[in-house]
């Protein structure tokens, strides 16, 4: 085509029409909102579950349910059966002169199970010249995660106390080598006061027996042990202190003392001893109270007696 020719080609014009926006119904908006809300709720529940599992809250809640069986994480846990078997062993054979009430002991074990975080990892020194009498109690405490070191003499106990810390000392009252006529130093730091004649005494009246003890004659070995501990450093919870001898507890707090003895349970008092008893249930509750008092830890879990160890 020559320049200037008016016969030009007519351009093609395309008309594009936009599709109308889809219509969103109110029911669709509601359904979508519900799905989003449900997703948020599930995410929050998973986060909360993780937190509760981490600090042991769920396990404690499960353990507080008053049922015989709980199905948790696919494992059947029979709380009552294992607890009852453990209690029955102690009730059937509490030890010479010792007592154990099944119901009270179950409550003590239940208390330990719910407060395991306060007692697990603690250390007890148990002084008794007949450690076989305490084997069931030591076994139960060990199942709770408590370390129990059993010794048969004050000399060994003193060496251990000077080497490593203990949270509590349990001692018996009388020893095989106790002699009624043995004269020793009077109990000046931890004087004992009897409310009744102990089973091992041949005295005819309480006053004459108390006078002999005050004079240092025939003092039971367990009270000599308490005096030795008091003379080696301050006794927590009591007024007895000694500045004349090198402290046994220079680097840590002095442990509390509990006397567990079949021959004098419940008939004597001593300012240096937390309690004197021949009852297993009172012993365990006292131990738990002592170990819980200065413990601010968050309880991480609960404890159950293991059936395979019964």
Cα distance between residue 107 and residue 84, in whole Å: 11
Q: Residue 186: its pLDDT value, please?
A: 92
Please determine, for residue 78, whether its predicted confidence score (pLDDT) is greater than 70. Answer: no
Q: Which of 101, 63, 57, 58 is nearest to 79 (CA)?
A: 63
Question: What would the mean pLDDT of 137-154 be, rounded to a whole number?
Answer: 90
Prediction pTM value: 0.67
Q: Residue 283: its pLDDT value, please?
A: 92
Six token digits for residue 187: 């109990």
Q: Residue 216: its pLDDT value, please?
A: 92
> Which of 61-65, 90-94, 147-151, 292-296 bottoms out in mean pLDDT, i.e. has the lowest?
61-65
Please determine, for residue 183, whether its predicted confidence score (pLDDT) is greater than 80. Answer: yes
Backbone angles phi, psi at 214, to 5 degrees: -65, -30
Average predicted confidence (pLDDT) for the chain: 75
Q: Identify how many contiguous H helices and E strands the chain contains and give both numbers.
A: 10, 9
Angle at 142 between CA 236 and CA 308, to 5 degrees: 165
Q: State pLDDT tens for residues 22-45.
A: 666 677 767 778 788 888 888 888
Q: State pLDDT tens for residues 275-307.
A: 999 999 899 999 988 888 866 443 334 444 443
Cα distance between residue 138 and residue 309, in whole Å: 13
CB neighbourhood size of 73 (10 A): 5
Residue 94 · residue 140 · CB < 8 Å: no
Question: What would the mean pLDDT of 169-192 be, rounded to a whole number?
Answer: 85
Cα distance between residue 282 and residue 288, in whole Å: 10
Q: State pLDDT tens for residues 191-201.
A: 999 888 877 66
What are the start-end ranges of the H helices in 93-220?
102-114, 116-119, 135-143, 154-163, 206-214
Please determine, for residue 150, whether its predicted confidence score (pLDDT) is greater than 80. Answer: yes
Cα distance between residue 290 and residue 283, in whole Å: 11
Name 123's bridge partners: 147
Question: What would the mean pLDDT of 56-80 be, rounded to a whole number?
Answer: 48
Q: Which of 142, 159, 189 is nearest to 305 (CA)?
A: 142
Residue 270 · residue 191 · CB < 8 Å: yes
- Confidence label for 218 from pLDDT (cuts 50, 70 and 90): confident
DSSP run (H or E) holding 37: helix 26-55
Six token digits for residue 131: 């450690």
Q: State pLDDT tens for residues 231-273.
A: 876 444 433 444 444 445 544 566 889 999 887 766 888 888 9
Q: Residue 151: its pLDDT value, please?
A: 94
Q: Residue 20: its pLDDT value, please?
A: 62
Q: Where are the beta strands (DSSP E) in the chain?
A: 70-72, 75-77, 123-127, 147-151, 168-171, 193-194, 256-260, 268-269, 275-277
> Which of 77-91, 99-113, 200-214 bottoms out in mean pLDDT, i.e. has the lowest?
77-91
- Orientation angle between helical segments 280-293 and 135-143, nearest 10 degrees: 40
Inter-CA distances, 178 with 171, 173, 222, 223, 270, Å: 15, 10, 10, 11, 19
Q: Residue 12: its pLDDT value, please?
A: 63
Q: Residue 245: its pLDDT value, please?
A: 44
Question: What would the mean pLDDT of 187-210 be, rounded to a whole number?
Answer: 84
């Amino acid at each position: 085509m020559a320049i200037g020719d008016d016969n030009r080609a007519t351009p093609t014009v395309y008309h594009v029409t936009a599709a109308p926006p889809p219509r969103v119904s109110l029911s669709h908006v509601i359904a979508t909102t519900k799905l989003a809300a449900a997703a948020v709720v599930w995410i929050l529940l998973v986060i909360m579950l993780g937190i509760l599992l981490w600090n042991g809250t769920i396990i404690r809640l499960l353990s507080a349910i008053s049922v015989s069986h709980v199905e948790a994480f696919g494992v059947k846990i029979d709380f009552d059966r294992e607890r009852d078997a453990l209690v029955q062993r102690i009730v059937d054979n509490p030890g010479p002169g010792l007592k154990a009430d099944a119901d009270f002991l179950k409550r003590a074990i239940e208390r330990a199970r719910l407060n395991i975080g306060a007692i697990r990892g603690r250390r007890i020194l148990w002084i008794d010249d007949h450690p076989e009498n305490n084997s069931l109690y030591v076994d139960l405490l060990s199942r709770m995660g408590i370390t129990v070191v059993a010794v048969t003499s004050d000399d060994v106990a003193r060496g251990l106390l000077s080497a490593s810390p203990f949270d509590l000392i349990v001692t018996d009252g009388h020893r095989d080598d106790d002699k009624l006529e043995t004269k020793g130093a009077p109990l000046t730091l931890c004087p004992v006061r009897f409310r009744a004649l102990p089973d091992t005494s041949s005295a005819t009246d309480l006053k004459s027996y108390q006078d002999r003890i005050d004079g240092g004659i025939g003092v039971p070995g367990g009270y000599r042990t308490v005096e030795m501990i008091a003379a080696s450093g301050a006794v927590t919870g009591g007024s007895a202190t000694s500045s004349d001898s090198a402290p046994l507890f220079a680097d840590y707090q002095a442990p509390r003392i509990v006397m567990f003895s079949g021959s004098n349970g419940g008939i004597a008092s001593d300012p240096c001893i937390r309690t004197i008893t021949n009852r297993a249930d009172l012993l365990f509750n006292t131990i738990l109270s002592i170990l819980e008092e200065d413990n601010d830890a968050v309880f991480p879990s609960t404890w159950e007696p293991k059936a395979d160890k019964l």
